[in-house]
Structure 1
């Protein structure tokens, strides 16, 4: 007979998984602070469409913001939705983040007007939203899918209207391309890595 993990250890593990989105957001704030106090601007390291010399923006673009207001606007939804993704573990969170950044970045790079510079964490915000909504339809245990559906319903009520506006009604200077392809990347990830869940 094996002993069950101590409650304190289980609680510690539960909180540890949320360190990933908190750390990611903290990194964005550190970068924005450094950008504000150091000479020049970091935003030039973002993703510039149809420019092969700016592909580092696939990684750096989501970490950079045009202003404090831009970062602040992204911070709360990034933290809330990121933590909901991180419920499944830090490893899953980073995998979703990587795929969303890649799919969202490549789609934006191709579809946006040549030379357009794109920065900001909204690609991740929309990606996490797409992941949370679409995982309801991914194969898995019934109990898990019911829980996912409840979470997705709450997220849709809180953020659904703004997400649709961010894609179909984005104003000037806002990259609907990053929003759309970020959401697509998150939706694709919702259907990956589910074998263990199906077998459980």
Structure 2
């Protein structure tokens, strides 16, 4: 069991390092082209031609500075690594449901309470991974996972305010809210089956 966890830890570190490198390379291109990738691959709410951008928008960040990507880097790396420790299937399920939940939520409900905008960034996926890590222990009935959730909540719990419409201008609360919902959905989908109630 320890060996398997060590293998997952190495794979998780390698995966999240590669993901981080790709995001920084994309940001470099986006800044060099003065936001071309944002305009091409960001989500424009309720624009049918922008629906495919649900697939690409988490890979692109604000082209005016590194601040957006820098703010997302550590939580994405930490949450992604911790989710990977559960296994590749759990990691991919959490990422995919968070990714699509966030993107579709933005496409349907983005800009409803503000001016039209283009949404980019990995924060929806981050919220989804966070939600997955917070609730999976309760579905799995794992005290270790519940303890980890409590530690994560103590350290990062304040970010949950980001699901509120009052979070601030330039921040997509829709991406956060629906990404979080996708992560919780992943925990439900991956819960153990056929276990008698305690």
Please report the TM-score for the alignment, with normalisation by the length of structure 1: 0.85
Equivalent-residue separation in structure 2 for 1:148 and 1:40 (angstroms): 40
Provide the residue aligned with 1:79 in structure 2: 77
Please list every run of 5 or more consecutive structure 2 residues that lacks an aligned counterpart in the other structure.
none
Equivalent-residue separation in structure 2 for 1:197 and 1:126 (angstroms): 29
Greater displacement, 13-22 / 166-175: 13-22
8 Å CA contact retained: 2:8, 2:85: no
Provide the residue aligned with 1:171 in structure 2: 168
Cα distance per residue 1:123-145 (max 9 Å; x no partner): 0111111111111221x3x4xx1
Matches within 5 A, 1:13-28: 13-28=8-23
8 Å CA contact retained: 2:136, 2:191: no
Provide the residue aligned with 2:130 in structure 1: 129
Cα distance per residue 1:38-71 (max 9 Å; x no partner): 4652101111100111122211100100131100
Matches within 5 A, 1:41-56: 41-44=36-39, 45-56=41-52
Equivalent-residue separation in structure 2 for 1:13 and 1:150 (angstroms): 20
* 1:10 CA drift (Å): 6.7
Please list every run of 5 or more consecutive structure 1 residues that lacks an aligned counterpart in the other structure.
none
Matches within 5 A, 1:43-122: 43-44=38-39, 45-66=41-62, 67-113=65-111, 115-122=116-123
Q: Compute the RMSD of aligned alpha carbons.
A: 2.4
User: What stretches of structure 1 move > 6 A for 4+ residues in a row?
Assistant: none
8 Å CA contact retained: 1:20, 1:93: no
Equivalent-residue separation in structure 1 for 2:8 and 2:107 (angstroms): 38
User: Are residues 196 and 86 of structure 1, via their aligned partners in 2, closer, same or farther at CA, if it must alter by over 3 Å?
Assistant: farther
The number of aligned residues is 189
Provide the residue aligned with 2:182 in structure 1: 185
User: Are residues 11 and 128 of structure 1, via their aligned partners in 2, closer, same or farther at CA, if it must alter by over 3 Å?
Assistant: closer
